[in-house]
Amino acid sequence: MKNQLRKSVINYLKTKIFTISCPCHFGLEAPLKREIYDLGYDITEVTDGRVTFTGDAEAICRANIHLRCAERVLVEVGRFHATTFEELFQGIKSLPWEEYIPKDGKFWVTKATSVKSKLFSLTDIQSIAKKAMVERMKSYYDINWFDEDGAEYPVRIFLLKDDVVVTLDSTGVPLHKRGYRTYTSKAPLSETMAAALIELTPWRADRILVDPFCGSGTFLIEAAMMAANIAPGLNRDFTSMDWTNLIDSQIWKDCFDEARAEVNTDIECDLQGFDIDPEMVKIARLNAKQAGVDHLIHFQARDVANLRHPKKYGFILTNPPYGERLEDKKDLPEIYGKLGDAFKALDSWSMYVITSYEDAPKSIGKKADKNRKIYNGMIKTYFYQFLGPKPKKKD
């Protein structure tokens, strides 16, 4: 009898459809869209820095485990228009919180953002939203005090031109925290951005990939995980793993089992990372080992001027120094000049460079075939693309 009841609960949870939104870096919506489509879900909306789709409880699990380019997986509770704090209060109160948060759940507004909206005091938005949630749940559960000693249900609220979107954060620690990067360089590229930039290139696992400014190894580790089909969230936890009222633990187990079954580390790759700093090379090796892909990447202490490779049709994908400190900026023309010279010597190769250094093409000595503006946090960067010829098709 108990097993039958459990099966009926799981079946019910599997049938409930959620609106799920995934924030990402501005300018990197396209690779995230492709990932969501590849998982088999229908996209309902794409806005700057966000892709929204619909799916069941399993979709929440699979999105957290498999998406490489998203920062979080947010479950939408509701939307409404608000220009006053009273409208905000009533809008939040009208949402069906009892369908998402159990009586012992711990709930709070972990973050609010406001863009071009009349309500702009974030602390007031957070405080009023919490009060409205309490009022709604007091009425439903018929209690005046919540101990909040159960699972966590962090709320995130977004205001854009007075339209309010209210979500629950199913992820917790952001998705770029894969768990493998114990050490970083001075100006590391996030794992999610690195993965998205790889997706924007034609690189595939059977092609050569070299990063001559590899730092802590993020580009190459993400590429190796893609090649070995290692899901980025395979070795970490998520806040919604405790949402047993919405996602049965068996659904999580099945999704993790599915991801593990797809892993294949018994492959060959030509992935090479160089850095002038031997200490960074050691760090990159440690991070690759943590990710389980150290056998797929060759790291070496080497100056970019010594970049060589005997084969054709390879890729350079790199995040060179930006000149974060004023005294470092004077070195940039020489650094990028060396990169340009090395690239010229690599017959038929393509090169992709992410940098905030606006004179990068001039110092490299070649005009980029394409350029994409991308925000790395608050830093405006450029993704310069120098395209080589496509390899000839094999007979």
DSSP class per residue in 15-26: H--EEEEEE--T
Residues 220 and 283 in one domain: yes
Residues 53 and 146 in one domain: yes
The answer to pTM > 0.85 is yes
Q: Give domain status of residue 391, yes or no.
A: no
HEC profile of 229-243 = CCCCCCCCCCHHHHC
Biggest CA-to-CA distance, the chain: 75
Q: How far apart are the first and last CA of the chain?
A: 62
Q: Give domain status of residue 133, yes or no.
A: yes
pLDDT of residue 182: 78
CB atoms within 10 A of CB 58: 17
Q: Give domain status of residue 368, yes or no.
A: yes
Residues 15 and 96 in one domain: yes
Residues 113 and 224 in one domain: no
Residues 8 and 82 in one domain: yes
Residues 305 and 348 in one domain: yes
Residues 151 and 208 in one domain: no
pLDDT of residue 375: 86
Residues 89 and 162 in one domain: yes
Spans of the chain, pLDDT less than 70: 1-14, 184-187, 323-328, 394-395
Residue range of the domain that includes 341: 191-230+263-386
**Helix, strand counts (H, E) of the chain:** 11, 14
At 115-152, the pLDDT tens digits run 999 999 999 999 999 999 999 999 999 999 999 999 99
At 85-122, the pLDDT tens digits run 999 999 999 999 999 999 999 999 999 999 999 999 99
- Split into its structural domains, the chain has a count of 2
HEC profile of 123-177 = HHHHHHHHHHHHHHHHHHHCCCCCCCCCCEEEEEEEEECCEEEEEEECCCCCCCC
- Hunting for tokens 């879900």 — which residue is that? 41
Taking the C-alpha atoms of residue 171 and residue 190, their distance in angstroms, rounded to an integer, is 17
Amino acid identity, position 98: E
Q: Give domain status of residue 27, yes or no.
A: yes
Length of the chain in residues, anyone? 395
